[in-house]
Amino acid sequence: MADSSFDVVSEVDRQEVDNAVNQAAKEVNQRYDFRGVDALLTFKSDVITMEANSPERVLAILDVLQSKLIKRGVSLKALDLGDGEPKASGKIYRLAAPLKEGLSTENAKKISKIIRDEGPKGVKATIQGDSVRVSSKSRDDLQEVIAILKKADIDAALQFTNYR
């Protein structure tokens, strides 16, 4: 019997992110507590930018954005918020959140270590660029690995693709 396998990847559905940003921007424009605070929310070249006239307002925009992303099934781990502190430039505070895609080498190594340490015997993990291929003779073992990885604390939005 041939080995079964799947890939562990970290991808972001850009259309869903774009939809969430548009919904959040519309809500920010309509809410009375954002009137006159120069609130702005944009999504260009894989970076979501939030702007307002105070750090509290920028964080409020972030809160609206996060709720829209969650409703659309986009993991908040896909946003790289840095230290999460809005930066001032003149009278405007700005927070940029680039999208994180692909597994970093560090996360790929962490995933293969988790599979080696906690996974069933006979499961192999191979790092392939920015993804990890997991293979085993038993499909049940692969299901177990997926469950282990879903519980693991990994700083990336994980998806499981190419299951065969």
Cα-based distances in Å from 116 to 60, 105, 135: 41, 16, 12
- Which pTM does this prediction carry? 0.81
In contact, 74 and 13? CB cutoff 8 Å? yes
CA distance 42 to 19: 11
pLDDT digits over 81-117, tens only?
877 778 877 788 999 999 998 898 899 999 999 999 9
| Domains of the chain, CATH where assigned | 4-11+102-161 (3.30.70.860), 14-98 (3.30.70.990)
pLDDT tops 70 at residue 143: yes
Tokens of 127: 């790092």
Q: Average pLDDT of the chain?
A: 89
- Read off the pLDDT of each residue in 64-80 and give the average, rounded to a whole number: 93
CA angle 71, 63, 83 (to 5 degrees): 120
Evaluate if residue 137 carries a pLDDT over 80. Answer: yes
